[in-house]
Amino acid sequence: MKNKETDAERRKGRIVTAVVVAILGVIFVVGFIWGLNMVLALEGSYPPNDLTEGAVPPPATAAEAVKLLENAAETAAKEQPKIGAHHSFYVVRDGENGGIEAPGSDALRTYLGLVADTAGNSSQPLGKLLSEAYPDRGAGYGEDTAAILPEVSFPADAVEGFKCEYIYYVCPVCELESQTPADSCEECGGTRPYVMKYHDEYTITLTLKSDTADGLFIKKNAEEIADLFIGTGSFKVSGVSTETKTVTVVYKLDRLSLELRSLILERTIAADATLSFFAEYESLGRQPVSLTLGEKEEYTLTWPSLTLNRHVLSIEPGSTDNLLATVVCADPLAAEVTWESSDESVVTVDEEGYLKAGKEPGTAEVTARFTFRGKEYSDTCRIEVKVSVESLSLNTRKLKLKTGEEKTLTAKPSPSDATVKSVTWYTEDPDIAKVDENGAVTGVAPGKTTVYALSDDGWFRVSCEVTVNE
């Protein structure tokens, strides 16, 4: 039994306790400093909005949108990116009775829903027939796409509706994406307005007149669709009539390269028919039905590309770093990447993307490229060789002024040998205090406002609270 501690054991216990307390203390202090740094870093990080323009402005009219699509399809036929094509046929289940009118019989409605289920993943009779009528097709890089991509040329006056989307909004606090702007965030309670952003692609939706459909789809017209309804051993279909109700074309276009990324053709069809049901030797009756069918053709285009992991990189004079190039293309041999620096006195690059900076500050562009089917694919990174700004300090964080009085603030970037030492000054409320490009603050009218300095390198921001009295 050892319920009585010896002196040695007690001493050991005290030492262990002291060590644990010391370790916890160190963790607390480190954590506190880390937390403090996070808070200061928040104050210091203030990147500007960077909304890149597209290669062409968004189409403003239906005619422009049609022209863009024609050009993009023509380019695709010539440069032959990889294409995936998927076709499907489905029952539109919206509306009363799940979209199927079949008087008198719930069982029939259920049955029809099953037989006409989405093609491609159905073992049901009609689903199977339709999926066989629409085999998935595709082409690899450099293969002929002419037989796969549909002819997407149609008169602009066939367009009834037109929409081009590429703007969206992001909450600066929780990064929630939204289609509409807002002054505050319902999701996270943030009180800052959403930031406007651009998608990389224009998403363009065209609604076409129904008679345009015949030229666009694989099953060219309503009769060809009606012919698919031949029935099986258990039922016969007769008196089929179909009518195209809606036709939409949705395509995504890369805003910078104008490459076609995807194309979706979709139409809805009202179909009426008479179904005759058979048991082994006898008729089980006839039943008129109406249902709405959807037909969808989806094309996905994957273009060869080269993307660098960085597009701006700053490195210290004399130091090394490296860039990574991600290549998308079928044939890795055809896609041999070469590297080039625009100014080897600033930075050199080897055949693997390893960089070595010169001794003096400067800026150069490093480009990686490869050629496929006579076309060059490349990406560029701007290399800034410099001593980077790591923080920004201000000579005072509180300033009192009289109306008309002027005092100059001094903002100092660290380290002292930073290459770019300049800062940009601005004031929250120029009606209370104004600030010039040298940090000279002038009281304009009584009140309180904040003057900021923003380092031109690294976008560190510091603030000074300014109180103006009569």
Please report, as ranges, the residues that interact with Zn ion according to CB under 5 A: 171, 173-174, 176, 185, 187-188, 190
- Output the smallest distance, CB 194 to Zn ion, in A: 8
- Output the smallest distance, CB 181 to Zn ion, in A: 13
- Output the smallest distance, CB 174 to Zn ion, in A: 3
Cβ proximity to Zn ion, 174 vs 256, nearer residue: 174
Cβ proximity to Zn ion, 194 vs 217, nearer residue: 194
Cβ proximity to Zn ion, 173 vs 264, nearer residue: 173
The contacts of residue 84 (CB under 8 Å, 6+ apart) are 136, 138, 299, 300, 302
The H or E element spanning position 74 is helix 62-79
The H or E element spanning position 294 is strand 283-302
Q: Give the C-alpha separation, 173 to 182, whole Å.
A: 13
- Output the smallest distance, CB 176 to Zn ion, in A: 5
Question: CB of 425 within 8 A of CB of 394?
Answer: no
Query: CB-hemisphere CA count at 13 Å for 120?
Result: 14
- Output the smallest distance, CB 180 to Zn ion, in A: 14
Cβ proximity to Zn ion, 194 vs 452, nearer residue: 194
Question: CB of 271 within 8 A of CB of 116?
Answer: no
Cβ proximity to Zn ion, 173 vs 218, nearer residue: 173
- Output the smallest distance, CB 192 to Zn ion, in A: 9
Name 363's bridge partners: 384
Q: Give the C-alpha separation, 32 to 43, whole Å.
A: 17
Instruction: Classify residue 95 as exposed, middle or buried by CB count within 10 Å of its CB (0-12, 13-18, 19+).
Output: exposed
- Output the smallest distance, CB 39 to Zn ion, in A: 19
Question: CB of 59 within 8 A of CB of 164?
Answer: yes
Cβ proximity to Zn ion, 167 vs 174, nearer residue: 174
The answer for 187, left when phi > 0, alpha when psi is -120 to 50, beta otherwise, is alpha
Cβ proximity to Zn ion, 173 vs 420, nearer residue: 173
Cβ proximity to Zn ion, 184 vs 410, nearer residue: 184
Q: Give the C-alpha separation, 469 to 282, whole Å.
A: 102
Cβ proximity to Zn ion, 175 vs 350, nearer residue: 175
Question: CB of 411 within 8 A of CB of 440?
Answer: no
Q: What are the Cα distances from residue 139, in Å, to 86, 136, 204, 225?
A: 12, 11, 24, 26
- Output the smallest distance, CB 393 to Zn ion, in A: 31
The strand pair at 375-385 and 362-372 is best described as antiparallel
Cβ proximity to Zn ion, 184 vs 414, nearer residue: 184
Q: Which two tokens stand for residue 86?
A: 């998927």
Question: CB of 429 within 8 A of CB of 447?
Answer: yes
| Residue reference for tokens 């001794």 | 359
Q: Give the C-alpha separation, 391 to 459, whole Å.
A: 9
CA dihedral (59, 65, 67, 71) in degrees, to 10, reads: 90
